[in-house]
Amino acid sequence: MALLENKVAYVSGGGSGIGRAVAEAYAREGAKVVVSDINVEHGEETVNVIKQNGGEAFFVKGDSSSAMDNKHMVEVTVSKYGRLDVACNNAGMGGPAKPTGEYAPDAWDKVIALNLNGVFYACRYQLEQMEKNGGGNIVNIASIHGQVAAPLSPAYTASKHGVVGLTKNIAAEYAQKNIRCNAVGPGYIETALLKDNLNKDAMNAVAAKAPMNRLGSAEEIAELVLFLSSEKSSFTTGSYIIADGGYTAI
């Protein structure tokens, strides 16, 4: 049997990168997948890829930094499929590169709104529904910078540390309600976001910081998310698992 057979799964930021890879992995393993993204074209592309490969999915546009949009996304999921079993809260952003003493307050607010508040809003309404289901499973996408600094990215670092803390709190609160919650900390992954912001030399320099001397792939992160989303990890909750090619090991 497929790992997520008969499950209903939700992925935010599912239009590209890690989110798309997670959505495809969920569908491959038998889940009905709800793909959310603020970019309609990208989100619908993910759904089309899943359907072309024989999976089931539909798209719902949503701003993950909005509490009401997160509530709506759960409502739409339940209206379509009757329940919500698995959620991967992936949507996020990097923000501008500035030292903390020069960081614009509005830039701080924007990063925190999506990366931290958005994850809280998502979990808030997902947990409410999962309790009604009698159980569920949440995977929050943090970062290696939920553990170590990202100089010139104070909002990003603070938000990802916050996601790790929120994940642990949820795990402790809901462990006896058949709801698990874990966080994944990707290192530097070869996605469009990275390619659009770094030239080839900069990408090579980033890759060289990890002992593996390469960037990770979105699919490698998706496989870890899939494991945490399935019963293969049934005794794992409150964990923060890093996949970074050894970056944080040295």
CATH at 77: 3.40.50.720
Give alpha helix (H) positions in the chain. Answer: 17-28, 40-52, 67-81, 105-112, 118-133, 154-174, 192-197, 200-208, 218-229
User: Whole-angstrom distance between the N-terminal and C-terminal Cα of the chain?
Assistant: 40
Any domain includes 1: no
Any domain includes 3: no
Cβ-based neighbours of 68, under 8 Å, separated by 6 or more: none
pLDDT of 167 reads 99
Any domain includes 27: yes
Any domain includes 13: yes
Torsion sign (Cα): 8, 131, 115, 67: positive
Boundaries of domain holding 228:
8-249
Any domain includes 2: no
User: pLDDT by residue (tens digit) across 154-166?
Assistant: 999 999 999 999 9
User: pLDDT by residue (tens digit) across 67-103?
Assistant: 999 999 999 999 999 999 999 999 999 999 999 999 9
Which amino acid, 81?
A: Y
Distance CA 40, CA 37 (A): 7
Distance CA 72, CA 50 (A): 23
Yes or no: say if 212 and 8 are a contact pair by the CB < 8 Å rule: no
Q: Give how many domains the chain has, as a whole number.
A: 1
Any domain includes 189: yes
Is residue 195 classed as helix, strand or coil in its secondary structure?
Answer: helix
| Residues forming the active site | 156
Cα–Cα distances in angstroms (integers) from residue 84 to residues 27, 37, 129, 131, in the given order: 14, 18, 7, 10
Any domain includes 35: yes
Cβ-based neighbours of 241, under 8 Å, separated by 6 or more: 182, 183, 184, 185, 224, 228
Any domain includes 26: yes
pLDDT of 202 reads 86
Question: pTM for the full model?
Answer: 0.97
